[in-house]
Amino acid sequence: MIKRAFSEQKIFQIIIVFVLVLLNGCGWLGLRDKSNDYLLSEEMLVTQIPGEIKHIKSLEQLYPIPNIDRANQISESFEVPRPLPASENTFDQLVKIQSFDESRWILINIPPRELWPRLRNVLSRSGVPAETVDGYKGKIETVWVTFKSDDEKSHRFKFDVSPGVQFDSTEIRVVHNQSDRGQENSTEWSDRSDSDQRELDMLTLIANDLAALQDFASVSMLANEIGGESKVNIINSSNVNPYIEMKLTYDRAWASVIYSAERGGFTTLDRDRTQGLIFVNYEEEGSKKPGFFSRIFGGSSESDELEIEYHITVSTVDDHVEIRVVDSNNGKLERAITLRILTALRTNLS
C-alpha cells in the first residue's frame, strides 16, 4: 500500500510539472512562440481586383477607415482638461413620473432597448396584454379590458416609448381610451386621455413595477432605434460654432436648460425668458479653489466672484430649439471651450 501511494504521488507530481511547462509556452518543446509575430507585420500592397468583379460586396474592405473632418482638428497645443463629472442620475436606477405643460410621462434612466422587454413583461403580468406592438416606432396598444369599479365602460391604453432627454434614458407616455361596452369596434383613439385619473393610475402602476425590477440585462435588438433619433444632439459642424439641438417645444427646452444650468459646475446669475438668455459662470467640478486664508486675505472681491462669464442663448429655429454659448460680450468662444461647456450642459439636461 505504501509503495502504491508513493507511485501515485510521483505520477501526480509529473503531471503538475508537465502542465506548468505547457503554461509557460511551447518553446521548451522546440516549438516557436508566435504570439508576438503581429509586431513584425508589414504593410502589404492593396490587392488589385479586375474591373468586371469590383462590384462584388465580399471583395470590399472589411474595416474601412472613415474620412477625417480636418476642420474639427485643433492645430495648436492645449492643456488636456479634466474629465467631465457624470450626471447625477447615471449610477442610480431612477424611475419617476414627470409632468410639464398638462402632460406627464415616466422617466427611467435606462435606454429604450433595455426598457422595451421589461415594459411588455409588466403589461402581461398586470393582465393588460398588448393587441398591437410596433417595436420600431415604440408603440403598444392594449386590448380592451374591464374594471370591477366600472360596469358600463371598457378601457384600453396606448403606450408611446421614446428616448429621453438625459443620456441613455427613456420616456413612457400613456393615453387612455374608453368606450361603452359593445361599442368598442367603433371607438377611435384620441390625442388626449378620456380619463386623466385612469392615465395617472396606469402610469403609477407601470412606474412602481419598473422600480421594483432589479435585472435590466435583457435587451431588445428590435428596439435598438426605438422612437427615432435622440431628442438632444450636440452639432459640431466646421461651418458654424457648435451648439445643442433640442427637438422639443420651446417651453420644455427652456425648463430643461434652466435645470442643467444649476448643476455640473454652473452658477446661474440671472435669466431672461423673453429674450431666451441665461447668464452663468462655469467652473469645472474638482478644479482648484482658493483656500481659507486666500479667501480672507486675497484680493478678490464679491463683485469679482459674481461677474458674468457666459451667456447661454435659447432660440427656436424651424422645428427645433438651439442652445448656444457665447462670452459676456456675446462674442464667439474658442471651439474647444464651447464644446466643453455644451457637453457639461448636455450632461444634466432633464
**What does each of the 350 residues of the chain score in pLDDT, given as a tens digit?**
545 555 666 777 777 766 665 655 555 555 677 778 878 888 777 777 777 665 655 556 666 676 765 545 554 555 666 665 665 555 556 888 988 888 899 999 888 888 888 888 888 888 888 899 888 888 999 999 988 888 899 999 999 998 888 888 899 999 999 999 989 888 999 889 999 999 999 999 999 988 887 655 555 555 556 766 788 888 887 778 899 999 999 999 999 999 888 887 888 899 999 899 999 988 876 555 555 445 445 554 444 556 788 999 999 998 899 999 998 888 888 888 888 889 888 888 87
Q: Is residue 189 part of a domain?
A: yes
Shared domain for 207 and 242, answered yes or no, is no
List all residues 6 or more positions away from 41 whose beta carbon is below 8 Å from its beta carbon: none
Query: Does 205 share its domain with 242?
Result: no
CA dist list (Å): 190 to 139, 179, 195: 15, 12, 11
Please check whether residues 207 and 248 belong to one and the same domain: no
The pLDDT, as a whole number, for residue 5 is 52
In a domain, 175, yes or no: yes
What's the rounded Cα separation, in Å, for the pair 269 and 261?
A: 10
**Is residue 168, in this structure, part of any structural domain at all?**
yes
Assess whether 99 and 208 both reside in one domain: yes
Write out the residue range of the structural domain in which residue 252 sits.
232-288+302-347
Q: What is the pLDDT of residue 113?
A: 84
**Residue 281 lies inside a defined structural domain of this protein:** yes
- Does 173 share its domain with 262? no
Half-sphere exposure of 309 (CA within 13 A, CB side): 15
What is the torsional sign of CA 141, 145, 149, 153? positive
pLDDT score for 88 = 54
Q: Domain check: are 273 and 336 in the same one?
A: yes
* CATH code of 179's domain: 3.30.530.50
If one counts the domains in the chain, the total is: 2
Residue carrying the nine cell digits 507585420:
41
Q: Is residue 31 part of a domain?
A: no
242 and 174 within one domain:
no
- Asked, for residue 222, whether it belongs to a domain, the answer is no
Residues in the chain: 350
- What spatial distance separates the first Cα and last Cα of the chain, rounded to whole Å? 77
Q: Is residue 277 part of a domain?
A: yes
- The answer to the question of residue 4 being in a domain is no
Boundary residue ending a domain (179, 212, 245): 212
DSSP 92: S
Q: What pLDDT does 17 receive?
A: 67
**Residue-by-residue DSSP string for 207-261:** HHHHHH--------STTTTTTSS-SEEEE--SSS--EEEE-S-HHHHHHHHHHHT
| Predicted pLDDT of residue 85 | 60
Do residue 173 and residue 104 come from a single domain? yes
Say how far apart CA 255 and CA 173 lie, in whole Å: 19
Predicted TM-score (pTM) of this structure: 0.65
